[in-house]
Amino acid sequence: MKRLPRSNIAANTLEFETLQLVKPTGFREYDARWWFGLPTDKKPSELNLYGVQALGEGLGTLMHERGVDPNIAVGHDFRHYSLSIKMALMNGLMNAGVNVHDIGLAISPMAYFAQFHLDCAGVAMVTASHNSNGWTGVKMGIEAPLTFGPDEMARLKAIVLNGESKPRSGGSYRYVEGVREAYIEDLTKNVKLSRPIRIVAACGNGTAGAFAEEALKRIGADVVPVECELDWSFPNYNPNPESMEMLHAMRDACLENKAEVALGFDGDGDRCGVVDNEGEEIFADKVGVMLARDLSAQYENAQFVVDVKSTGLYHTDPVLQANGAKTDYYKTGHSYIKRRVHDLKALVGFEKSGHYFFNAPIGRGYDDGLVSAIAILQMLDRNPDKSMADLRKALPKTWGSPTMSPYCADEEKYGVIERIIAEVQSDADAGMKILGQSIIDVNTVNGVRFTLEDGTWGLMRASSNTPNLVVVVESPASEENMIGMFREIERRLSAYSEIGEFDQKI
């Protein structure tokens, strides 16, 4: 008889300790994320350890179904419950006949590196990324350097929820020593700064604290560590370099220590945030333009990929145009951009969230915050007469917002966005004026990004990972028009009772 997971079981009950709890909404477009809960938490859990075991059995079954070699590298981030979740996941994988290679505590790029280092077809990284404590999840892949997209996630969801997992013999376990050292050595080999660039490395007490300071010192940087001590309670701020709280802490540390740049890493180390020597927070898409300028001067006809949340400068910047660079705008999401970079053989993919994907000859195509940090320091090293602020000021001026995330339940967010897309398209067709201008373009590749005559644009889409919408606005004309576009989006969203308050506003 099939053992089917339940979607709703109360914690602190007999059923919670004996049945599998897996809420279906945890299977997202390209990641798996659930609210695991805290001991004092009243919010109902969406997953228990038996549910995690079912997830492992499903992943192992999918590996056999797809005909890939049943060897998988498995790591976990630094949260007080992540190791327990990893043990349950590995138990399920072994029950499905998979050979588990446990790499221990890791950041996500170290797990991706382990696929190459250990010659494993699969990877499973237990992490909630930048999410707050109580969240957990798994980043998965069975074809390096790619991670799951919607097709794989949909099939995995069906296997787990329908009880289609198949137990197999032959599964095994081994703990692999030395992967952290091999990863740091791989990061830093053949990289040496010509001068000791003084930097702040901020980790928010997350997992990257076990890697960033050592790796950046090895290439010759003068590192000022900030919140690099591991502490799973995150006593200072949540490690998320898109959060203004973390960016402001980086700004203060950069100015206090007279650093040339502050680099901040998220909870699983695959993203890098930047504050310049003047204390200015630089959004990741603008940092990407700076890097694209630098790299396109070295690599002829460089191809880049960016997500729809990113600045329009990738198409309009005169330096990129003069260097012959080409840029493809694609769906937001690390799996989408990673796959697009792979398919187009692009040099780099940039996401506004701070996921950067350096392909050969710079990287292996996966997102790694430390590879991004090293590339930024090499850019500064190649421009000794210019500061990070100078490079920022050299870009054409635009006014852009942070990524804002009003609440919208997972069960409702996609339907809400479909209605919003229809409304924006209808208004554009009817010739509606916004800020006294017509809508000249409506891009629906990922939510809806609509652009006005002066280039001001706004984006509304459903988050792939959390129960939120995603809102971004930018104007090349004025700060006033950027704020005006936000007010227009705020007005539209206020008509929906399903949408809650913004996490931050402008």
Q: Around 188, how many Cα atoms within 13 Å sit in the side-chain half-sphere? A: 19
Given 129, 165, 243, 372, which residue is catalytic? 129
Distant-in-sequence contacts of 81-85, Cβ < 8 A, 24+ apart? 81/36, 81/136, 82/126, 82/127, 82/128, 82/136, 84/49, 85/36, 85/49, 85/52, 85/126, 85/136
Q: Which residues contact 506 (CB under 8 A, 6 or more apart)?
A: 401, 402, 404, 473, 482, 483, 486
Structure tokens at 319: 């330096």
Total residue count of the chain as it appears in this document: 506
Per the listing, tokens 């560590």 go with 225
Give the type of residue at 277. N
The neighbouring-strand residues paired with 452 are 439
The Cα 367–Cα 157 span in angstroms is 24
The sign of the torsion formed by the CA atoms of 376, 382, 384, 387 equals negative
- Is 463 a known active-site residue? no
Query: In 3-state terms, what secondary structure has residue 305?
Result: strand
Query: Hey, what's the torsion of the CAs at 286, 290, 293, 295, to 10 degrees?
Result: -120
One DSSP character per residue, 7-62 reads: S---SSSHHHHHS-BB-GGGB-SS-EEEE---TT--SPPSB-HHHHHHHHHHHHHH
∠ CA 417-407-59, nearest 5°, is 80
CA distance 474 to 396: 13
Report the catalytic residues: 129
